[in-house]
Structure 1
């Protein structure tokens, strides 16, 4: 059974359209091993998920700063930690990031970026990459009351695009994000460039490919064509 053709796409940003690996050098400049970058990111996601699951606020920046202090034994805190978090807004997108957004727009769908990172950072990245004009809405998960993979952020992205959740598709490199989108009633396309194999614990995607742009195309290829009324 094929899917309805998406009326909206909601793209994850960090690790999906924007690689985080350059942040390793910011940590090295702060005097800690570069390998702690991935540990930091996983730690901040864990903390944000836990705070949201417990029903409390989870503002991105304080969570990110706290996680960085925790995993470095408070070697990176204060201004040094702020510099690492600020560097998120200066990252470079994947070479095919704009192509993925254009492919979604070319299908006639509206396009949102939905991320657990704060909206200001997301907008700065899109502007810097020259992609802001390809995006109709930026949705920060925190103000919805929970981080992804809770249902509220996905449904907020659909609303921001004026689409029903069932007519909205998430594009992400995270298995947990696919699982959350599916549980919220959205479709999901998974790019394998980050995890390589889809995590067995989660509900699988509706389409998968090696890159975000190819994942968009794969989802569109599996969807029903537009039906004239």
Structure 2
């Protein structure tokens, strides 16, 4: 039975920040809506591969490469730039600030966990009023490789089993659980938890419910 974590790591894209608002940038670029989903899937595919084989590619490299691939390398440079810029202009989910605040008010440390670059992640958090609510940003490492989760634990100076992950991705739960973290899954993105991964320690309909469930776990023995 997991114990109540001392700190939380919040996944950024599609957990704190939905990617849906990028759709209008795709439309402006003349890219069919269906290709936005293909782009996201392509991006994750390459990110997962890099988590396995390593390499010095950045998140922006992968995001741009995926855009070019799904458009047959026909996307205009200005349109490509506009979509990439949109990744640092996203609006947070309606309960994102309150969920992070609840963790802070309960005395937990908080870190933002992102595969994107640190500067871009800080810009995104700042625009949403979240940057001052986190104790750190752990960015630039490919997930679900274990080192990304262990780095987040190191940032907050807690043992991995005392760090909780808040995410909307089943694959993220799988990676974090294998690294020893307490896992919390929000159903707002996938609806049903993917059957191929071990069950999360807690789950909820949204971020607020996930944080509440993590806070309700029993405390570790003194």
CA shift digits 1:163-206 (9 cap, x unpaired) = 11010000000000000000001011000000000000011100
Q: Report the 3-state secondary structure (helix = DSSP H, G, I; strand = E; otherwise coil) of the residue aligned with 1:189.
A: strand
Relative to the length of structure 2, the TM-score reads 0.96
Q: How many angstroms does 1:75 deviate by?
A: 2.2
Residues 7 and 156 in structure 2, CA contact (< 8 A), matched pair in contact too: yes
Which residue in 1 is equivalent to 2:219?
225
Cα RMSD (Å): 1.3
d(CA) in 1 for partners of 2:39, 2:203: 27
- 1:157 maps to 2:152: yes
4+ runs deviating over 6 angstroms: none
- Residue 226 (structure 1) shift: 6.2
Structure 2 CA distance for aligned equivalents of residues 61 and 198 of structure 1: 28
Give, in whole Å, the separation in 2 of the partners of 1:22 and 1:8: 30
1:170 aligns with one of 165, 168, 183: 165
Q: Unpaired runs of 5+ in structure 1?
A: none
Correspondence 1:27-46 to 2 at 5 A: 27-46=26-45
Report the counterpart of residue 215 of structure 1 in structure 2.
210
Alignment size in residue pairs: 222
- Structure 2 Cα separation of the partners of residues 141 and 183 of structure 1: 20
Query: Which of residues 143, 157, 175 is equivalent to 1:148?
Result: 143
Where structure 2 has 5 or more consecutive residues not aligned to the other structure, the ranges are none
TM-score (norm 1): 0.93
Tell me the equivalent position of 1:191: 186
